[in-house]
Amino acid sequence: MADTKELINALSTKHGVERRSLLPILQGIVEKENYLSKESMLEVAKVLDISAAEVYGTASFFSFLDTKERGQYVIRVCKSMTCDMKGKEEILSTIESVLKIKLGETTQDKKFSFLETNCLGLCEEGPAMLINDDYFVKLTPAKIREILDRYLRNEI
């Protein structure tokens, strides 16, 4: 918690303490802590002098501001129509079997979270996914295994 406080102080020094600073501050927390904990949202409310409900209300609106605990690597598989046509289902089942978690879950060691997302804008090269900020396209089950293997062996 002391770390979170320090982080929020640093972020508010960088981005300011106005209402418009809220999104960059929340994004900064997610970058470091993978998600927005209740404690971090309360602290942001205090620093910006707004209601905690405002902070939660804003955070929960956006799909990249998770308010549920997430792993170090968040996998987001595109579920748009084009990626669906190109074999998204097979990609999902491969990830499930490699990581042994279901869609929406996080591995026990808190390394991976596995989510779906709306259009990633990589349609011409689908199926596509993001792992944190990096994108992967033209996915096949074999390619997925290879990518996840690199992450599992910390070779990224």
Partner 1 sequence: MTQKPKKVDIIFSPYSVAPYQILKDTMKRSKEEVIAELISSGLRGRGGAGFPTGMKWKFAAEQKGSVKYVICNADEGEPGTFKDRKLLMSVPRKVISGMAICAWVTGSTQGFIYLRREYKYLVTELQKEIDIFTHHSKEVGLNFNLQIFLGAGAYVCGEETALIESMEGKRGEPRNKPPYPIQNGFLGKPTVVNNVETFASASMVCRIGAIEYKKFGTSDQRGSKLFSISGDSPKEGVFELELGMSVESFVSEFGDGDTKAVQVGGVAGFCVPRKDFAKAIIGDGNTTGGSTMIFNSSRSMYRVLHNYLDFYAEESCGQCTPCRIGCQQLLKGIEAVKKGEKPAEYLDQLLKLSESMRLTSKCGLGQSVTNSFSSIVTNFREEMIF
Q: Which residues of the shown chain bind partner 1 in the complex (CB under 8 A)? A: 18-24, 26-27, 57-58, 61-65, 79-82, 84-85, 117-126, 130, 133-135
With respect to partner 1, which residue has the nearer C-beta, 13 or 108?
Answer: 13
With respect to partner 1, which residue has the nearer C-beta, 84 or 146?
Answer: 84
Q: How far is the CB of 109 from partner 1 (least distance, A)?
A: 25
Amino acid, single-letter form, for residue 57:
G
With respect to partner 1, which residue has the nearer C-beta, 27 or 98?
Answer: 27
Residue with tokens 């944190």: 132
Q: How far is the CB of 118 from partner 1 (least distance, A)?
A: 6
Cα 85 from Cα 126, distance rounded (Å): 9
Q: How far is the CB of 29 from partner 1 (least distance, A)?
A: 12
In angstroms, the Cα distances linking 102 to 95, 96, 114 are 9, 6, 7
Q: How far is the CB of 2 from partner 1 (least distance, A)?
A: 26
With respect to partner 1, which residue has the nearer C-beta, 6 or 84?
Answer: 84
> What is the DSSP code string of 36-105?
--HHHHHHHHHHHTS-HHHHHHHHTTSTTS--S---SEEEEEE-SHHHHHTTHHHHHHHHHHHHT--TT-
